[in-house]
Amino acid sequence: MATIEECRAALDKLSENMRGAEGHVREAALLDRSVSCHVKDLDVTFVGRMAGGGIEVHDTVPGTPREKAQIRLALTGDDLLALVDGELHFARAWGSGRVRLEAGLRDLFHLRKLL
């Protein structure tokens, strides 16, 4: 089982990958939205902001936060690590229910370029 520190490092790596993206992926990464990533097996949520082409994690809270972020991701810690390392295909994981992504319809259209 992944640790909180490993999950935080994976989110930092994801942010670095986003900042290094080009073309349509780079355009999608430039959204300015509140984000949360709930790691279900650890029952913690990383909250922050997608801005400047990356993700800035501001806090780690137990459970789910009171305020809903504009973009919400929920998955296990191991799936987060596998997703960021390229070992887990996002669309398949989302389709099978391993990963849950919630956002407004307009944001989902932008995010599909990232994922």
What is the 3-state secondary structure of 17-42? HHHCCCHHHHHHHCCCEEEEEEECCC
Cα–Cα distance list, 48 to 1, 8, 70 (Å): 23, 12, 10
CA angle at residue 29 from 85 to 18, to 5 degrees? 30
Per-residue pLDDT tens digits for 35-61: 999 999 999 999 999 998 889 999 999
25-29, 52-56, 89-93: least confident range? 25-29
Model pLDDT, residue 45: 98
pTM of the model: 0.91
Cα separation, 63 vs 19, in Å, equals 28
Q: What single letter denotes the amino acid at residue 87?
A: E
